Structure formats: structure tokens, C-alpha cells
Amino acid sequence: MTSSPGNEAGFNTRAIHAGQEPDPLTGAVNVPIYATSTFKQDGVGGLRGGYEYSRSANPTRTALEEALAALEGGERGLAFASGLAASDTLLRAVCAPGDHVLLPDDAYGGTFRLVARVLTRWGIEYTPVHLSDLDAVRAAVRPTTRVVWCETPTNPLLGIVDIAGLAGIAQETGALLVVDNTFATPYLQQPMALGADVVVHSTTKYLGGHSDVVGGALVANGELGEQLAFHQNSMGAVAGPFDAFLVQRGIKTLGVRMDRHCANAARIVEFLLGHPAVGHVYYPGLPAHPGHDVAARQMREFGGMVSFTVRGGEEAAVKVCGLTSLFTLGESLGGVESLIEHPGRMTHASVAGSPLEVPGDLVRLSVGIEDVEDLLADLTAALS
């Protein structure tokens, strides 16, 4: 049996081999889907290989969790039934009534809804803040601030946050820095190497990569990792074995997919910049984009997400979303196929009327890995 590669191995090597030791019985190179709820014990209280019940642990999920930890450079990976299940477990594990959370002022709508409409009922307080302004972050921190929640790039305006700078503030104040790394993926960005305490993922997106699974993940170190593992088991929103298998399969091609996502996105940005129907283009790879220098420093490339405004206002933006053919009108992101959506009426409808409300003329693209000339032709037709 070969051993899993260490953190010194290259990213793609870890993506393919971490947690993926060949099956000792058959030599199968893929971890089997252990479709079982319970495991035969070696005597009363004697766990066979550490397994007793699949909520607590399942070999297929273990393989995924080992891969997640290896890719993010952490000690403990945990796989959940969805990204929000991971977020909910994390916040309930580390916060108590009266604690305070700093959120991005353009956070993912589902995260904002979880905090503002669910966790506040349990005594959690929150403040939206422009996280790229470190002085504003310092001013917003309270003695009760337990978590600084960061997304970079943000959804859908692709704002950039200096992770190392934010980590310094969190360490000074005793707060935990949580980084949602869903948009960047561990291939493009390594938050824990920059000082983050916890990394969050919706594995539904780029890690799964094929729009065929819903899942989430946490990665942490030391006692915090053990604390989160306890709450994962106690709260029970775990990834099932088939879902874990699908995410693990997707991870193996993450690096090569992200290279194509990024290359296609850069071509589409170039096209949008020159189109008369387009107002503003949001993309971290543009030198004029706020935080571009930070993104260039902490990211390998600039990602596959692009947002832009449409001249003519909200109705014109909605119309563009309905006129594409290759860009499928749909929520979510990070799959091999390209998606288009109107954030104000779709993914971010839940933040309408709040400080996190997004522009009505905004369109968001999740750029897939199709032939880019076909994608450009599709956008040309829709924008005309």
C-alpha cells in the first residue's frame, strides 16, 4: 500500500493521491462508496478501524476529509451535507449567546440569512463591514467579537480582502478568522498559510465541479479542529458516502479545471470591457479592480467568476440573462458548464433592502470550461 503524499508534494499530486490509498483487499485505486450505516464491532466497545456508525465516520468521507486537509494545508478536514451546514456548525461551535460576528458587507446571501435571520434568534450579534478597509474592521471589532468572517473574492462583486492583514487584526483581538475559500479554491489561494484559523467551502462548487452534488467543508488545526469534529458528529449534518465520493472525484481534476476556468474568464473580461452595452466589469485580474494588487499577491490566478453591469438598468440586465444559450440561466457556480444569473433577483434576493443589497443592473457569470469562442459568440448575441 502506498502512503498519502505529504504537504511538500505538488498540488495536483495531493489532489489525486491524498486520502486515496489503494484498497488493501482488492487494490482498487478509487476509494469505494461505503454505503452502510453501521459497522461490525470487534467486541463490545471495540471499533474496527475506527468506525461504528456513519454519522460519526465513514471511510468514503474520511478519504475526502483527508484530501481537503491536504489541499488547504490544515490538520483536520470535515465534510458536510452543504456549505451552509458547514457554516452553521462552525458558528454554533465557536459562538455563544452575546458573541459578535463581523460579516463582509457584500457577503453571500445565504451566509447573511443564516446569521441575520437564524443565529440572531440565539443571541448572536453581527455587523456588516467593508473588510478590505482594515481600519474599518478595527473600528468594528468589539470585546465580544468572536468571528471575523471573510470571503475573498466576494460574491457577487468580487471584492478582495487582504487575508494576512485581516489575520493580524483577528489575532490582536482574540477573534477567529474564517475564510470562505469557495470562489478561489485551494488551487488559487491558501488562506491558512496567510493566517486564517478556519477555511470554509461549498464543495458543491469548484471542488465538486460537475453540478451533481451538494456539500460543504471545514478545515482547521489543533484543538479547534477537534472541537469542530465534535460538533459535526453532535449536529449530524454530514456528507453522505456517495456525495463524498463525487466531491473526491471532482477534486482530482481541480487544478486543470481551474486553469481553464481562469483562462476563459480572462478572455471574456477582455470582450466585456470593449462592449458598448456593458457598464462596469468586476474581475480581480483587472489592474483597476479594487484590491487587484492584493489578489495578485495572494492568488495564483484570478478565478472563473465575472460580474458586470448592463447599460439600460435592471430590466436590461434581466433580459440579457434570458437570451443566452450556452450560458445556462441558473444559480450556483463552479461547474464545468457556464452559468449566468441576475444576483438581485436570484442568489442575493434574500439581502434586498439590507446593507448587502446588490446593484439591480448586475449580471454574474460562472465561466465554464467550454471552448471560449463559443462562449464569446453566445454573449455577443445576448448583449446585442
Q: Averaged over 192-203, what is the pLDDT?
A: 98
The domain boundary residue, chosen from 217, 251, 285 = 251
Within this chain, do residues 245 and 305 fall inside the same structural domain, yes or no? Answer: no
The pLDDT assigned to 351 comes to: 77
Tell me: do 164 and 190 sit in the same domain.
yes
Question: Which pLDDT does position 67 carry in this prediction?
Answer: 98
pLDDT over 90 for what percent of the chain?
Answer: 89
298 & 211 share domain? no
Residue 129's DSSP bridge partners are 104
Query: Is there a single domain that holds both residue 287 and residue 201?
Result: no
Is there a domain that residue 2 lies in?
Answer: no
Q: Do residues 254 and 206 make contact, with C-beta atoms less than 8 angstroms apart? A: yes
pLDDT of res. 3: 53
Q: How far apart are CA 379 and CA 370, in angstroms?
A: 13
Band (pLDDT 50/70/90 cuts) for residue 355 is: confident
CATH code, domain carrying 367 = 3.90.1150.10
**Side-by-side strand order, sheet with 198-202:** 76-80, 216-220, 198-202, 176-180, 145-151, 100-104, 125-129
What is the domain extent for residue 260?
A: 255-383
- The C-alpha atoms of residue 198 and residue 195 are separated, in whole angstroms, by 9
Cβ–Cβ < 8 Å for 3, 19: no
What is the average per-residue pLDDT within 178-200?
98
Predicted confidence (pLDDT) per residue in 249-297, tens digit: 999 999 999 999 999 999 999 999 999 999 999 999 999 999 999 999 9
Half-sphere exposure (CA, 13 Å, Cβ side) for 377? 7
Q: Is residue 1 part of a domain?
A: no
Average the pLDDT over each of 43-57, 68-82, 332-346 and give the range with the smallest value: 43-57
Q: In this model, does residue 228 exceed pLDDT 60? A: yes
User: What's the mean pLDDT in 73-79?
Assistant: 98
Domain with residue 50: its CATH number is 3.40.640.10
**Last residue of some domain: 232, 251, 270?**
251
User: Looking at the structure, do residues 228 and 315 belong to the same domain, yes or no?
Assistant: no
6 within a domain of the structure (yes/no)? no
Q: Model pTM?
A: 0.95
Is 46's pLDDT higher than 80? no
Range with lowest mean pLDDT among 193-202, 345-354, 359-368: 345-354
* Residue 148 and residue 164 in contact, taking contact as beta carbons nearer than 8 Å: no
Please check whether residues 51 and 194 belong to one and the same domain: yes
What number is the average pLDDT over the span 90-103? 98
309 shares its domain with 369 = yes
Q: Active-site residues: which are they?
A: 55, 108, 180, 205
Question: Tens digit of pLDDT for each residue in 156-170?
Answer: 999 999 999 999 999
Reported as a pLDDT band with limits 50, 70 and 90, residue 2 is: very low
